[in-house]
Each structure stands twice: as C-alpha cells, then as structure tokens.
Chain A
Amino acid sequence: MDCHRYGEKVISFCSRIVSECEVCIEDRTEKTVTIQKDEIKSEREKHEITMGLRVFAGKRKGFKAVTLPQNLEEVADSAVTLARHSEKDEDWHGLPLPKPVAAVDIYDQKVAEISIEELVEMSTLLKSPFPEVFIDSARVTTFASHMYIMNSQEVNHAYKATKCYIFLLCLPQKGEASAAMDWALSRKLDIDCELLAEKTARTVKDSLKAKLLKENFKGEVLFSENVCSQVFMNSLAAAVNAESFKRNVSPFKEKMNERVASGNITVTDDGLLPEGVCSAPFDREGNPCQKTLVIDKGILGAILHNEYTGRQYHTESTGNAVGSAMAEPLVGITNLILTPGEHSTEEIIETMKKGMYILGLSGGTDVTTGRFSGVVPHGYYIEKGEIKYPARALISGNSFSSLLTVHLLGGEQKPNLEGMYGVPLLVEGINIISGSG
C-alpha cells in the first residue's frame, strides 16, 4: 500500500472533524533466523505496517494505533471518541510546526535486500570456539523500515532506516556456570559474528572456574560497557527526562547548572550520530533530531524535551519525542552517549588495588534513588592491579553518588537497543558481598 498517500488521506479526513491531528506510519520488514542448541531452528519473515493517530479536539487528546490496512473512517472515529472521553489539558499548546531536517546515515541497501539464505549463512558463523560451551539460543535479525510523520500543521517527513541485531546466549556443556548473553547492533552488515560468539562463549568458559569471594568488603568496581549502560546510563536517562522533572521525581530537579558527576563525565544525547542505533533525521513528532550536551564535565547543562514539555519549560523541543508508531510519543533518549576515556580495560585494571571487574549484573536499579544491587554472574576479582580469578559476588551501591566519584573511563564504547552508549567505568566504595547463596 502507498503509506504516504494513506497518511495524507487520514490527515485530510481528520482535519475536518478535529482541531489538530498527527499520523505516524511505519512500514517494516523483519527477517529472523533463530538458533537453538547450536543449530538453526527456524527462519521467519515479517511484514508489518503500523499507524498511530493522535487527534486533538480542542485541548482534549485521543490516540488510536492500528496495524494496516484498516478502515480509515473507523480508525478516525475511534480516536475522536477517545479524545471526547478525555479531559482538557490546559498545558497543551499544539503540534509542532514544520522545520528543516538534516539527513543522517542510517540506511544500508544491503541490509534492506538481504535474503533469508544470506541471513542463514551469516548465522552459521555464530559458533562457540570452546568445546565446553555451546550456543543455547541466538537470533539474527535484520530490519528495514520506512517511517512517515505528518500532521495538520503541514509537517510531512519520511525516512528509511535499516538495522541488524544479533542476540546470543551461551551455556556450559557441563557444570554450573551461569548463562552469558551478549548482543551486537549495526545499521550495516558489518557485525563480526565470530568475534561476538567467541567473546560470549569465553565469558561462560571463564565462569566455569569462578570462585566465591573470601570476604565482604567495600572496594573498586570496574563496570563493563554493558553494565555501565544498565546501571548508570539507565539512571541518567530517567534523570534528564523533562517528564521526570515535571513530575518531581528526578534527583536532578534542583541541580540545573550544578555538579551531578565528576569532572571526567560528559554526556550527550545525539539523535544525529552517523549510524547511531537510535539516530533519525526527525523525532516521533516530526521535530528535527539534534545533539544536546546534557552533562558537560560533570555539570548538568540540559534536559531532554518533546514539543509538549519544551513549551511548558518555555524552550524548544530537543527532538526527543520517542516511541514506535503504535505508541504515543513520549520524552526519551535518542543515542545517550557517555564520552569515552582514553584507557584500555587492561590499563584500568592495572590501577586497581582491590575490587572487581564485572561483565554482567543480574539485578536492578531504582532510577529515582539510584540504588542498585544485584548478583555478578560473570566477574573477576582484582588485587594489586591483576586479575586473580573469575569470581561470583553480589554488589550494591548508588549510581548517582558513584557518578560523582568516577576515577577512570575506558575507551571502548557499545550501544544497547535503547540507544545507551556505555563505556567501562571505574568507581570506588561499592559494597562487594561474598557468595551467591
């Protein structure tokens, strides 16, 4: 179907019955090869067209999302009915007006046109090089999408994007090492499958020799780039969200232009990062994406806005309306990037007196308080600058207070699916607790 034409018809139809409307359509093809127990399990091809329609009857809002094709009038009626049941939002000041948007490199023809046969071939490279470890499950997926945003204020934009995502979970053939999972993401077909499988399998292999720590202590912890995103970037993403400020739940609420992290911490939200996993020329409302300096050398400089919160705070949207076509646009991060340091992981370990290097954390972080705790299924005990042995432990601490005392940052950087670009991070004063039971 012609999504652009369909979207314009929806806008034209709804403009006659409501004061404002916005349509987001995503036409997406997804190809997946699934691996189970070291062997290809199934191949899948999915084609989905989804549409989100946001309408405003004065200051009352309704939202209807559907898979297409559907009857246009029924969808519009349903959205309008919802708006009429809603209540007036006096803070609502309108949908965005058209603005110029920049192109960003997020599309690769080869990904868009990959065949299931080629994907199967790529998947066969996911092999554990160690006989004691196998690939329990893995998924190799490519996405090709075409996104359209239009509204009754004459915003009318479209872009194409591709993505390749590999997820895998390794287990030991025998023995009780915890499963290790890892992933890789790219806009192109340039993921090194063999390296990813080798790295994940090695984590399991090492943890087969893991020991329990001899004592509980407060010590240094080097968080890997994955765990850095899980603990620190996750807390930061919530804390710099204008919605959290408005709701009074951000611990940074009274700290604009004040120190919230140590001087070696700089964080940007960059929706225009070339090949970035969450980059796009425009956001979910059609506002141009941009690069926002959120924390500059430890000082909180900006928070992230969509059109609604931007107007409430008497500022412009930062291009941070996020969400799929099936969901209402909310405030969120694009690519939230912690600027890497210059040290290799090995160099950082050499500086450590006593602590742990952790590759995984099975636990949680309270993004309001910053408190985190969890089991370290894959980690190493470090003493006097050397890895002594693979170790299991529990750790606990506070991400916000730890950000104020970051000693060193590593040079390696990795994004997760949510667009958080973590780096290895060394902090001290973390509770390290022996044993997992």
Chain B
Amino acid sequence: MSDILSTAQKSSASFALVRRHKREYLQIGIKEGKITQMSSSLVDGLGVRCLIEGSWGFACSTDVQEGDRLVEKAVKAAGTSAAQKRRKCDLAFSPAVKGTWESPVNHPVTYEAVEDIIGYIREADACAAEYPEIISKQISFLSTCDKKEIATSEGAFVNQREYRVFCTAAVTAKVAGRRATANNAVGGQYGTEFFRKDDLRKMVKKECERALRLATAQMPPAGRTKVVLTPDVASVLVHEAVGHTAEADVVLGGSYLSGKRGEKVGNECITLIDDGTYAHGFGSYGFDDEGVQSQKTYIIEKGILNHYLHVRETALNSPTGNGRAWLYSREPLIRMTNTYLEPQDYTFEELIQEVKDGLLLKGITSGLADHFGNFTLHVLEAQKIAHGSLSDVYYSGVTVSANAFDLLAHMSAVGDTSTFKVVPGVCGKGETAFVGMGAPALVTAMVVGGEV
C-alpha cells in the first residue's frame, strides 16, 4: 500500500486513497428440504482514488499487483474533465487515523462450521413441515467477511474486519387453489452464535402462518385510513423517506431537509439517529471507506433538524463517517449506517386503541421515496383494527403512500422499547450497502391502494 501511495504522491494528485477490499461469502440454500446451494465466493481487488485540481479519478482492478498502473489511470481520469468542472472538490479535515476494528463476533463463520449451520437451517426448515398447506419453502444462509485496508496520502491507515450473517426464508402456501408467498430476513454482525438466538426458527414459523393467511386474503378497501405500523414497516419508512433526505448529496440536490438545519421538521417526540457504532448492527463499522471513524449522529433531535450525513467532500468541518463503498471497485458514497427512530412511551395495545378503526401493517416487500419525503411502501399484510382491537380480517397486496414529513409533524403516538426493533437491510442507492433500520411501532394515517 505504501508503495502505491508513494507513486501517487509523486504524481500531480493533491490527495490519494488506496483501498484493498477482500470479501468472502458463504451461501447455503435449502429448497424443499434439500440442500441446493453450497457455495462460496471471494472478491478481492484494489481501488485507487486521486484528486487533481478538485477533480476525482478512480481506477480499480482484481489484480492487486497493478497498483502503480491504477495510479496512472486514476490520475489520467481525474485530469480528463478537470477543466470542465465548475465545482471543485475540497476535502474537510479529518484526523489521519491509524487504527484497527473488528465486528464484535464470538465465532466467525468458517468452513468448519458448515455442518452445524446446515443443522440449524434444517431445524428451521422442519418448522414449515408442520403446515401441510405450505407447498414450497426456501431457506438461505449468507455470511460475509470483509477485510479492508485503507491508506491515504495524509497518513491514515485503517485495517478492518466486518463479519455479517443474513438468513432469509420464503414460503408459499396453497389454500383452496390460491397461492401466496411470504418472506422475511434476520441477521446482523454475528458469527455462528447467531443461531443461539433462535431467530431463524421463529421467523420460518411466523412466515408459514402469514402465507396461509395471505392465500385467502383479499385486497384492502382503497382510501385514506389510520394505521399502526409495526417496526419492520416503520423502519423502512424512516430509512427511505427520511434518512435519505438527510444524506448531504441528496440535500445538495434540493431535498426536503435542504436549508432546514436548526428548524422544526417533526413533532417533539421525533428523534432520528444514524449510528455506525450500534452493537451488532448490520450497518456498523469502525471506519468508513474514506478512513473516517464511524459515529452516532443525531439527524433529528426532539423534532429539530440537527445534522446531515457526510463524506469528506460535502462536510464543511467534521465528516460523519458515512462514506461507504460496496466493493473495491466502487467509490465511497454517502450512505446511512444503522438509522433508527428513538422509542417513546406507548405500549402496542395503546397504539391499537389509539387507531380505533384502521389497519395494522406488517411485513415489507419494498419501499421507495423521493427527495421530498413522498413515499410508497409495499406491505405484505394488513390486519383490520375494529373498535380498538385487532380483528381476524387480513388483507394482502397493500401499497400505502404519504409524505413522511407530514406524518412526522403530526405524529404523537410512538411505541415504547418493547415495540422497538432494528432490522438488517440492503440499501440500493446507486450501489448496494448493508444497513440497519430501526423504529418502534407507531400510529399515523396513510392512503391505502386497494380495491375501489
């Protein structure tokens, strides 16, 4: 690394960053009770980023011996359009950290653990056998190990290991000739000790029961209604519709939060945090891909917009450690880490009573939002709330839509810690990133897209 940096320092680059990123995956898949996937992959490469007269150039290769050639290419790329750039990049100061970090994992996943992992997956798979209406089941396990070395021409040198596990289950039920699929995921920064939590077995059971309900469920009636969002739905809303609007590159594009620092953007009960240090969080790390230490950032504190999320290029003074690159072949982008809404004091039962008549929204398939907080969530299942209690009426194929900042401004019923959950996710803003998303259950109102 130091040889490559010294080549870069001899070039016209005012700043250079060299990143070696090695990622190993282990994937085990069981379909219909049979092992159908037993695979592993290794992605290893080197990326070089150079800044010349405020213009970035980047080159990368899987041949890690090619460092000097990559510097040459990155320098050439940076120079190509330097003259055309009106906005010159200027990096905020960040201490040249020398450090190491490793996920807080007890037993990292290795090939030696494969038999045990298969055993755990089979146990989970066996839960589905209790439901004769389940006609198809797929359970998969993924572990990743990221080894990163990051060095900058300013003297930073970071060595980091990130370990993650991620399990998914998809089950299909057939009831009275109608099929429906339910799916979900669990995971975090763990090793094989993850299986002692028993989350996978519980999840498979829950999804089987959900698939049975969905097979006979109708579409909900269309229109505006009061809803309770379970944490898996609320957390996606928080990430997609609020978190992204606080990313400084999105702010510069004129997002809803642009120019509102210090202003009220939500009710007093709203505190939104991005926390790269969250224990076992799917989006946690010690240092970002610019070599900046991760931190806990209060984006919204008691309803007031406090901070944006930054890379060094967008930060005026202190970057927030949110520069993340998916692989060696990508440049750091501003990405959330673990973003969550702080819990308040409503119990789940109180939230249901608060709604009186409406829907409880559970399980998520996808969520999208624009820069102004207008969002659409595609929810797996809705359960009817009647007279302040949960009924036995279920709906499927539910899309809900609203403006997140309208909701935050009027939100008053936010669940307590017993309703709070941080879930693992994969965010796709131009490139992929492992993230954590969290929220308590909460009450709001939305337009539901259903049957007219």
**Chain A contact residues, CB within 8 Å of chain B:** 1, 33, 36-37, 39-50, 61-70, 78-79, 81-83, 85-87, 89, 116-117, 120, 124, 136-137, 139, 171, 173-174, 176, 178-179, 216-218, 247-249, 251, 326, 328, 362-364, 366, 368-369, 371-375, 377, 394-396, 431-433, 435-437
Contact = CB atoms under 8 A, between A and B. Distances in A.
17 contacts: A42-B78, A45-B73, A65-B42, A82-B40, A85-B115, A171-B253, A216-B222, A216-B223, A248-B135, A248-B172, A249-B179, A249-B181, A373-B378, A374-B399, A431-B451, A433-B449, A435-B224
B63 to A, nearest CB: 6
B61 A437 contact: no
Nearest to A365: B378
A375 B86 contact: no
Given A41-B56, A87-B35, A436 B180 contact: no
Given A178-B374, A363-B449, A371 B396 contact: yes
B252 interface: yes
A248 B136 contact: yes
Contact of B450 (A78, A179, A431): A431
Contacts of B106: none
Interface in B175-222: 178-181, 219, 222
B398 interface: yes
Given A48-B61, A48-B62, A437-B402, A364 B447 contact: no
Contact of B368 (A39, A48, A79, A362): A362
Contacts, number: 244
Nearest to A67: B62
Contact of B253 (A37, A66, A116, A371): A37
A394 B222 contact: yes
Contact of B370 (A79, A117, A366, A377): A377
Contacts of B370: 178-179, 377
A139 B172 CA distance: 38
Contact of A40 (B84, B403, B447): B84
Interface of B is mostly: strand
A375 B77 contact: no
B35, B77, B224, B252: most-surrounded residue (chain A CB, <10 A) = B77
Nearest to A167: B430
B57, B59, B331, B397: most-surrounded residue (chain A CB, <10 A) = B397
Interface of B: 31-32, 34-45, 55-63, 73, 76-78, 80-81, 84-87, 111, 114-115, 118, 135-136, 138, 172, 174, 178-181, 219, 222-224, 249, 252-254, 329, 331, 365-366, 368, 370-372, 374, 376, 378, 396-399, 401-403, 406, 430, 446-447, 449-452
A131 to B, nearest CB: 15
A350 to B, nearest CB: 25
A63 B40 contact: yes
A43 B80 contact: yes
Contact of A432 (B138, B249, B398, B452): B452
B397 A436 contact: no
B399 A394 contact: yes
A41 B81 CA distance: 9
A374 B447 CA distance: 11
B59 A45 contact: yes
Given A43-B57, A46-B60, A68-B62, A63 B39 contact: yes
B38 A62 contact: yes
Contact of B40 (A49, A78, A87, A372): A78
Contacts of A395: 449
Given A64-B39, A249-B172, A43 B374 contact: no
A44 B59 contact: yes
Nearest to B60: A46
B331 A67 contact: no
Contacts of B80: 43, 116-117, 120
A159 B430 CA distance: 29
Contact of A363 (B59, B376, B451): B376
B252 to A, nearest CB: 7
A62 B38 CA distance: 6
Nearest to B23: A67
Contacts of A82: 38-40, 111, 114
Nearest to B26: A82
